[in-house]
Structure 1
Amino acid sequence: MRRCGHQALGIRRALYTTNQTITKTFQPTDEQKVRGLILNHALTKVNQLGWTPAAIEQAATDLNYPPTTVLAYNGMPLIKHFMFDALNKTSIDQLHEFDTPIDRIRCLCRVRLRQTQPYIRHWHDAFLQMMEPKYELAAASWFFTLATRMWEMSGDQSLQIDWDRKRAVLADVYVATELYMCEDTSADFGDTWKYLDEAIEHMEDNARGMNRTPDLRLCDVGNEPASGGHSSE
Structure 2
Amino acid sequence: MTAHQTDTARALLDAALMHVPFDGWSDATLAAAARDCGVDPALARAFYPRGGLDLALAYHRAGDAAMRAGLAARNDLATLRFRERIALAVRLRLENADREAVRRAAALLALPQNTPEAARALWNTADAIWTALGDTSEDGNWYSKRAILSGVYSATVLYWLGDDSEGAQDTWDFLDRRIEGVMRFEQNKARIKASPVLNATLGLPFRLLEQIRKPADMGPMPGRWSR
Shorter-chain TM-score above 0.5:
yes
Partner SS state of residue 80, structure 2: coil
| Among candidates 66, 70, 82, match of residue 101 of structure 1 | 82
The number of residue pairs the alignment matches comes to 181
Q: Which has the higher helix share?
A: 2
Match of residue 44 from structure 1 = 18
Partner of 1:175: 154
Return the alpha-carbon distance in structure 2 between the equivalents of residues 98 and 60 of structure 1.
46
Offset from partner CA, 1:98-144 (integer Å, 9 cap, x none): 3332221110100001122x2x2353332222123332122211111
Q: 1:84 — aligned with what?
A: 61
C-alpha change, 1:157 and 1:33, in structure 2 (3 Å) is closer
Normalising by structure 1, we get a TM-score of 0.68
Q: Work out the CA distance in 2 between the residues paired with 1:201 and 1:160.
A: 23
Partner of 1:5: none
Instruction: Give distance in 2, aligned partners of 1:128 and 1:47.
Output: 13
Where does 1:1-233 land on structure 2 (aligned, <5 Å)?
A: 27-28=1-2, 30-31=4-5, 33-71=7-45, 75-91=52-68, 92=71, 93-94=73-74, 95-116=76-97, 118=98, 120-158=99-137, 160-205=139-184
Counterpart-to-counterpart distance in 1, 2:117 and 2:4? 25
TM-score, length basis structure 2 = 0.69
Please provide the CA RMSD for this pair.
Answer: 2.4
Indicate the structure whose relative CO is greater, using CA pairs within 8 Å and at least 6 residues apart.
Answer: 1
Contact 2:67-2:89 within 8 A present in 1 as well: yes
Distance 1:102 1:199, change over 3 A: same
In the alignment, is the contact (CA less than 8 A) between 2:30 and 2:51 conserved in 1? no
Partners of 1:30 and 1:99 in 2: how far apart? Answer: 40
Q: CA deviation at 1:80?
A: 0.9
Q: Distance in 2 between matches of 1:59 and 1:90?
A: 25
Task: Report the alpha carbon displacement of residue 33 of structure 1 after superposing the two structures with TM.
Answer: 4.1
Q: 1:154 to 1:35 in 2, by over 3 A?
A: closer
Distance 2:108 2:153 in 1: 18
CA contact (8 A) 1:38 1:63 kept: yes
| Separation in 1, partners of 2:135, 2:181 | 17
Which structure is larger by alpha-carbon Rg, 1 or 2? 2
Unaligned runs of 5+ in 2: 190-204, 206-227
- Identity among equivalent pairs (%): 26
